Amino acid sequence: MFDHELMDTETAAVKKELRSMKRTFRIGLAACALLSGVIGFSAGTLAAKNSKASVVVQSVERRQNVENVPVTSINIPSVAALTQNSVVEIRTESVSNSLFLRQFVTEGAGSGVIISEDGYIVTNNHVIEDARSILVALHDGTTYEAQLVASDSKMDIGVIKIEASGLTPAILGDSDSLSVGEPVVAVGNPLGQLGGTVTNGIVSALDREIILNNEHRNLLQTNAAINPGNSGGGLFNADGELIGIVVAKSSGEDVEGLGFAIPINDAKPIIEDLIAQGYVGGRVSLGITALDLTTPQLAAQYGFKTPGVYVQSVIENSSAANGGLQPGDCFVSINDTAIEAISDITSILNESSVGDQLMITVKRDGKIVELTLTLQEKKG
């Protein structure tokens, strides 16, 4: 679904000034099910074009104000002892339909972090999405059936609850106070069967811009070992404070040490909204499902002649329905910005507010059609 997240498929002050210098990567989710693959990017190899070129080594004296450079160490056994009881294993079952209309059950696995003594647990939306049953195992092996409270596909955050008391919630840290090179510990359930696994590393980047599920995201990057099943687990600082929710890793034959986590300062207001009202307030909803058809062959499978971003369906009484969008429309531009992928639309919606008007140009039956839509709030 694809609404502010383009519909249902899906505030610290100033962000780091380095953001404008950052590369944007497209990465894959750390799979929540053992049968799921991890889609990633391939690392290129840089080679010297002229191996005979002379190299001039310049020796310079480097000085810095060491008083402002934090010197930190980490006691990993201590952090593990403080945090392991706050991280849970999650197992799910989902029902899917085959091409021959037969139903089959898919099992998945992931991690979660306890955030209240009475059983609220935060995880990733992709861990529990469409699950018909959710089973939670505590570090001591006690298991509970969990109920979905609410989830948000845009931020990839889900909240579930178990009927328990006296649990050990994680202590929330301050992700805005982190420094590159600061030691961290990841705790989760890699491979869906190694619950309570502790790995360590450093903060590799504070505000890495990537594209995840067609959303431009700014995440913490770490070299702590992250594997399928770690999704939804915790990233902790040297004091055992939760500073990130593990969300993704990058994979590839030559890729190692690239894991990502949602900064806890970004996740906290989302979690609070999901618990309080069941959705994230202030999000705009376009009210369509969309198809990103990138090749002529793929377009032909859906009955279209050319590649493009097409409206698949329109939600009744939504912004799109009230503005005149129709199934089969192919996006040309929004507010004079060319639309070449779903992520282009998502970026525009991310910068929009409830009540804003969008000037949308689409191709319909070979003709150019211009529409004006007023954005509504996404509820649920």
Strand partners, 216: 211
Catalytic residue, chosen from 3, 156, 273, 292, is 156
Instruction: Give SS3 for 322.
Output: helix
Asked whether 136 and 241 are in contact (CB, 8 A), the reply is no
3-state secondary structure of 38: coil
Q: How far apart are alpha carbons 90 and 151 in whole angstroms?
A: 15
Helix ranges, 48-166 (H): 76-83, 125-128
- Residue 231 annotated as catalytic: yes
Q: One of 86, 111, 231, 285 is an active-site residue; which one?
A: 231
Residues in CB range of 61: below 8 A, 6 or more apart: none
> What are the C-alpha distances in Å from 287 to residues 154, 275, 279, 319, 352?
14, 23, 15, 6, 14
Per DSSP, the chain holds a count of helices (H) and strands (E) of: 6, 23
State how far the Cα of 332 lies from the Cα of 369, in Å rounded to an integer.
9
Neighbours of 327 (CB within 10 A): 11
330 backbone dihedrals φ, ψ, rounded to 5° = -110, 120
**Beta-bridge partner residues of 363:** 330, 368
* Residue whose C-alpha is closest to residue 308's, from 327, 324, 291, 326: 291
Half-sphere exposure of 341 (CA within 13 A, CB side): 10
**What Å distances lie between residue 84 and 90, 117, 175, 195, CA to CA?**
14, 15, 20, 9
Q: Which of 4, 126, 153, 266 is catalytic?
A: 126
Strand ranges for 28-102 from DSSP E: 87-97
DSSP state of 29: B
For residue 278, is it left (φ>0), alpha (ψ between -120 and 50) or beta? left
DSSP single-letter state for residue 193 = T
Q: Which residues are annotated as catalytic?
A: 126, 156, 231
